[in-house]
Amino acid sequence: MSERTDNAVVVDAPLDLVWDMTNDLESWTELFSEYAAVEVLSRDGDTVTFRLTLHPDEQGRSWSWVSERTSDRRSLVVNAHRVETGVFTYMHIRWEYAPEPGGGVRMRWIQEFEMKPDAPLDDAGMRDRLNRNTAVQQARIKERIEAAARGTDGQSPAPAGLKGES
């Protein structure tokens, strides 16, 4: 059996800024609250292979895995999957970016996955966990990008030269 999550948030910022900040993997430890480390392993055109490491959990364990992410700036889509699947049989994530008629950008994450039989959570349990955590992470990303758009984040907007890169 498999599960799917589908979550979105509207970020009140220019499309280029939203795209650039969310595709700057090296800054994900600041953008997301859950990542302790990001290590880019390779880049091949629009495809990046990277290792993510979470902050330690309640038992002091740090979970880590390798993912591959391919961005398509023209279609405003990023497709990713776990190379090291860990507790998942598979995990696919699709990011979609869509300009909103009234301004801002709708950032949507679709996650399709299946848990391994010996995983600590079943498919429904992981779906619920991902839905809860995605809401937290998307709210944080929205806040960070909107602050950058206003120039109130204490940093300059997304690094120059990242437009169209991932």
Q: Where are the domains of the chain?
A: 3-150
The pLDDT, as a whole number, for residue 57 is: 87
Nearest to 105 by CA among 32, 165, 47, 19: 19
- How far is the C-alpha of 50 from the C-alpha of 161, rounded, in Å? 20
pLDDT of residue 154: 55
User: Which class in CATH covers the domain with range 3-150?
Assistant: alpha beta
In angstroms, the CA 115 to CA 79 distance is 19
Euclidean distance between the first and the last CA atom of the chain, given in angstroms as a whole number: 32
Note the pTM of the prediction, 2 decimals: 0.88
Q: Note the pLDDT of residue 121.
A: 94
Those residues of the chain that have pLDDT short of 70 are 153-166
| pLDDT value for 1 | 73
What span, in angstroms and rounded, lies between the C-alpha atoms of 43 and 54? Answer: 22
Contact of 111 with 133, CB cutoff 8 Å: no
